[in-house]
Amino acid sequence: MDVKECLAKDLLKLDKKDPQRASKSIQAAEHKLELGEKSLQARIYEDTILNAYAAMFHSARSLLYRDGFAEKSHYAVYIYLKEKYGNKIEQRFLNELNNLRLERHEVLYGLSSLEIEYKEAKDVLGIAIEFTEKIKHIVK
């Protein structure tokens, strides 16, 4: 799937360019990172994963707002970044965004409990922090 297909399937929509909304999305990402740190310290690792993904999602979405798009699908956000910013964002970040999207789905909707260790939660949060900093640099 590509951006053109996402638009055709209404997973992405053209919208007005909105730098203020992009900035608010970055602020939301930073808040999720703070919550991720707190949940890591409290040893609530599922919440750490959820907050790390939410931070990455909000960071990524800031680029869509800046560029004049709105998302109707988390997967479409990944597709958009991969296609439009693949030369500015390291592949490891794009892979992690997509992997965490899937893990988030399993944490929220799966019927089996996931065994998440401290190291995994800490590493994921670290990646989310790096990703958010990278996106902030691109947005400016």
Dist CA 9 CA 78 (whole Å): 15
Query: How sure is the predictor about 33, in pLDDT bands with cuts at 50, 70 and 90?
Result: very high
Average pLDDT over residues 66-81: 96
How many separate domains does the chain show? 1
Q: What is the CATH number of the domain that holds 33?
A: 1.20.120.330
Query: Which pLDDT tens digit goes with each residue over 87-133?
Result: 999 999 999 999 999 888 888 887 677 788 999 999 999 999 999 99
Question: 44: buried, middle or exposed (CB in 10 Å: 19+, 13-18, 0-12)?
Answer: middle
- What percent of the chain clears pLDDT 90, i.e. is strictly above it? 88
pTM for this model (two decimals): 0.94
User: What's the confidence (pLDDT) of residue 29?
Assistant: 98
Dist CA 26 CA 69 (whole Å): 16
Average pLDDT over residues 56-61: 97
Q: Which two tokens stand for residue 30?
A: 């930073």
Dist CA 38 CA 34 (whole Å): 6
Dist CA 79 CA 77 (whole Å): 5
Q: Which two tokens stand for residue 20?
A: 């203020």
Which residue range(s) make up the domain with 37?
A: 3-139
